[in-house]
Structure 1
Amino acid sequence: MSKWNDVYVMFLFIFMPVHVKLLNNSLARTPPMGWMSWGYYMCGANCEKNPEKCLNENLILTVADTFYQEGYQEAGYEYIIIDDCWSELERDSNGRLVPDRKRFPNGMKYIADYIHKRNLKFGMYTNIAKKTCMKYPGSRDHFDIDAKTFAEWDVDYLKVDGCFVEEDFLNTAYIQLGSALQKTGRQMVYSCSWPYYIQYIHNKIPDYQPVADHCNMWRNYHDVVASWKVIKSIIMHYQIEYKRLSPHHGPGHWNDPDMIVFGSGALNEGQSRVHLTVYLMLSAPILMSCDVNNITPYEKQLLQNLDLLAIGQDPLGVMAKPYQLELEVTLWVKPHLPMKGDKYHSFSFAIVNFDVRAHLISFFPSAYGANYTDGYSVMDVFANTFGKNVTLSDYIEVTVPPEDVILYSLFPL
């Protein structure tokens, strides 16, 4: 970047807050939970050749019915989000986005009404460039009219990508589009990809403070796919980047490691436990992407395990801290509610084993923040059982199976 561009960007950040409100929509006080189309259905526009991966009205209504009828809604899943490739390839004569007429014949307001009647929430996608990542119409030069359109369609959540734009524009466009959304008067969760494109396309270190000031959540790392290797790389990213990411994470503003890819057959039960558990320990959004008819009974049990979900939905919203116990074994530690008085937290301890062999692990909870002198009750979250209480002088010892996780929640007595 030239020296002039450096001065220009600095000028914008110094003077922009005078004219642009910081995000204050009171949304996403806990990490959003729901379903998103991209991870499984991808672009999904060629329904004739690939009907099983068709992104259309029927798919979205089916997901809404499944959430409503099969316990997902009661477990806290509420957002149903359409990703890229939902529109016609051209705007209308008034410059407005138009839903694909074949795949979404009744339009987006019809879908929003259907979802809202089930007390669920509706999400959509755009990009801050002139084209989306898949070359559909993007929102650049149309921020105000697109914000108004999404508001008129009663959208509750907007995912905003950042393909095909220069660094300077990334650092202003998300702020400008966020301001346009606020001016509509409709509250929408604002999901940004701002830091991802700064770091991995423009090769700069993101400044997370303006991101957290203007977005409810943001992507930090590469797209997830249904691969254990990829999921491990995402988890390792958050472990390595913990010190840089955690200060900007909390109620209303969340780091987003991308979707939960259950229903693919790519993960065994242990790997599935790791995938979901670490995301919940991070207080990350839980947005599954799948054919809801392909979720296995065990995956559904995990997704609806209320003791497990409570860790991720804890109102304190603390991002778990990682401690490397062995080369392939990490202890993730998360303080959360309930508290004893106003100073003794409960804690969850997730011992994650990436190795292909089992590891015998022991640790003292008191070495990682547990400080209540009367001790703690110990819950094995996956077994849904309570073991022997522990004091501050006691250690916990457990064998962690290969590529699996053991999860304990400790509650002050």
Structure 2
Amino acid sequence: MAATTTSILLGLLYATGATALDNGVGKLPALGFNTWNMYQCDYTADMLLQQAQALVDHGLVKAGYNTFMLDDCYSLKERDKKGRIVEDPEKFPKGMKHFTKSLSKLGFRAGIYSDAGYRTCGGYPGSFGNEAKDLETFADWGFSYLKYDNCFIPFDNVTQENVYGRYARMADAIDARAKKTKSQPVQLALCEWGWQQPWIWAGRLGQSWRTGGDIRPWWSALSAIINHASFIATETRFFARNDLDILEVGNTNQGTPPGNLTYDEAKSHFTAWALLKSPLLISSDMATASKETIEILENKDILKINQDPNVGEALAPFRWGFNEDFTFDPAHPAEYWTGNSSYGVVFMVLNTQDTPQHMSFNLTESWAIRAGRVYSVYDLWTHTNNGTASRSISLNLPAHGVAALLLNDAGPEPAGTEPYCAGWWQCSFPNGTYYSN
């Protein structure tokens, strides 16, 4: 009985432990374009290739945005006589292979969408029961990235699996095909919407997982996503990351009016997504993108943190600010974030309030900062060296604005600096008495 109990306990520990699927693909977050929020089902291959060309023309492909994600509604509503998914001839009159080859010539890898149920969320053929067959179709068409959704799932007595098992069917098909063909596996992005805590288990199956429902291009939606991320930011690592959903920094077809983020909100949106190491898949109109939109998307200093080859972890909160720490508040998520990088210690400060705010933090609130040191300060938005900081930093931020700073050790602080400790309430003299500020 003891051995059996031990085996059960070990199995439970393994089942709940966070892991990452290092199968050779998806070490770093994907950057690129997603068709859904911009077009939903109303598109043609020519329209999509215009967006792809716009990304090239704006220099975004050169900046790293080289994944073009074809979302739902690309096929006929029914499979052919051999059970295969068929591309919609009206949307893709030259065929899907021609479309992916055109993307490849522009410098993109192609991604496609499917579903773990009978139908996709748009009502097109899903992949349940056809995982291997659909995977062959996608690979034959030229796709190497798969966004996998969670609509129209079969009854429990049909699957006899929960969501993990339904997603595992496609993950197993990807693994089997890679071994059989001796090719690189298709990269799998799970779109589970966060209902069953995918940040705990999804890294066993794919390289990213959605943390919640679909994004909307207004501040309350963004702050709610950031609030959720405040509690799970530490689950991101190489080959496995929280996907906060699509980037909405420019003009979209959603909202009233569409795409109604302010410039400061768009900066905060991009900064949070990038520094939390989320995939960065744009779904705004790049053909009419403003200069300000392109400047946000091509911020090389922030993209460098997102694509850090040596540090896979995301920034995480060190203080909530507006609220007491660990308060769940969709309107006011954590405001003070930090993390390490190959280039220095990163700080992100978000003003979640509707009015401009003066904000400040103690450097040693970050675990990555050494006490008793002075730090050089580089602004990741102005791209300027802003002198040095000792003990604390203060900022004035606009409503829903953001600051992103990179700090590097610049030597010991001057002798005799008082108070003796930045966190003076824990500071002690050698005789065991506490220092009192």
TM-score calculated relative to the size of structure 1:
0.84
The Cα of 1:101 is off from its aligned counterpart by 0.7
2:315 counterpart residue number: 320
The answer on 1:332 being equivalent to 2:330 is: no
Q: Of residues 37, 40, 63 in structure 1, which corresponds to 2:51?
A: 63
Q: Of residues 125, 139, 145 in structure 1, which corresponds to 2:133?
A: 145
Alignment CA distance shift 1:74-1:207 (3 Å): closer
Instruction: Answer whether contact 2:345 2:408 (CA < 8 A) is retained.
Output: yes
1:261 counterpart residue number: 248
Aligned equivalents of 2:373 and 2:392: distance in 1?
15
| AA partner of residue 226 (structure 1) | P
Gaps of 5+ in 1: 1-9, 45-54, 200-204, 339-345
The Cα of 1:184 is off from its aligned counterpart by 2.5
| AA partner of residue 291 (structure 1) | D
1:383 counterpart residue number: 382
Secondary structure at 1:126 match in 2: strand
Q: How does 1:77-116 map to 2 (within 5 A)?
A: 77-116=65-104
The Cα of 1:209 is off from its aligned counterpart by 4.2
Aligned equivalents of 2:37 and 2:287: distance in 1?
15
The Cα of 1:303 is off from its aligned counterpart by 0.3
> Bigger CA drift: 105-114 or 80-89?
105-114
Q: Of residues 165, 179, 186 in structure 2, which corresponds to 1:172?
A: 165
The Cα of 1:259 is off from its aligned counterpart by 0.4
2:396 counterpart residue number: 399
RMSD: 2.1
Q: How does 1:2-401 map to 2 (within 5 A)?
A: 23-44=21-42, 55-165=43-153, 168-185=161-178, 186-194=184-192, 196=193, 199=195, 205-206=196-197, 208-239=199-230, 241-242=231-232, 246-247=234-235, 249-264=236-251, 265-315=259-309, 316-322=311-317, 323-327=319-323, 328=332, 330-338=335-343, 346-369=344-367, 370-371=369-370, 374-391=373-390, 394-401=391-398
Secondary structure at 2:104 match in 1: helix
Alignment CA distance shift 1:62-1:189 (3 Å): same
Aligned equivalents of 1:171 and 1:364: distance in 2?
42
The Cα of 1:374 is off from its aligned counterpart by 4.9
Instruction: Answer whether contact 2:199 2:209 (CA < 8 A) is retained.
Output: no
Instruction: Answer whether contact 2:199 2:242 (CA < 8 A) is retained.
Output: no
Secondary structure at 2:336 match in 1: strand
Instruction: Answer whether contact 1:129 1:140 (CA < 8 A) is retained.
Output: yes
Instruction: Answer whether contact 1:127 1:162 (CA < 8 A) is retained.
Output: yes
Gaps of 5+ in 2: 1-7, 179-183, 252-258, 324-331, 411-437
Aligned equivalents of 1:23 and 1:405: distance in 2?
33
Aligned equivalents of 1:206 and 1:268: distance in 2?
31
The Cα of 1:174 is off from its aligned counterpart by 1.1
| AA partner of residue 167 (structure 2) | Y
The Cα of 1:146 is off from its aligned counterpart by 0.4
The Cα of 1:207 is off from its aligned counterpart by 5.8
Alignment CA distance shift 1:330-1:23 (3 Å): closer
> Bigger CA drift: 318-327 or 79-88?
318-327
| AA partner of residue 36 (structure 1) | N
| AA partner of residue 341 (structure 2) | H
The Cα of 1:294 is off from its aligned counterpart by 2.9
Secondary structure at 1:93 match in 2: coil
| AA partner of residue 181 (structure 1) | I
Alignment CA distance shift 1:355-1:176 (3 Å): same
2:435 counterpart residue number: none
* Structure with higher helix content: 1
For the pair shown, which has the larger CA radius of gyration, 1 or 2?
2
Q: Deviations over 1:121-153 (max 9, x none)?
A: 101000111111111111111111101111111
Q: Percent identity?
A: 26
The Cα of 1:119 is off from its aligned counterpart by 2.6
Secondary structure at 1:34 match in 2: strand
| AA partner of residue 227 (structure 2) | M
Instruction: Answer whether contact 1:281 1:332 (CA < 8 A) is retained.
Output: no
Q: Deviations over 1:10-69 (max 9, x none)?
A: 9xx99xx9xxxx94431121110000011121122xxxxxxxxxx211122222222223
The Cα of 1:94 is off from its aligned counterpart by 1.0
Secondary structure at 1:325 match in 2: coil
The Cα of 1:408 is off from its aligned counterpart by 1.1
Instruction: Answer whether contact 2:60 2:298 (CA < 8 A) is retained.
Output: yes
2:419 counterpart residue number: none
Aligned equivalents of 2:404 and 2:200: distance in 1?
32
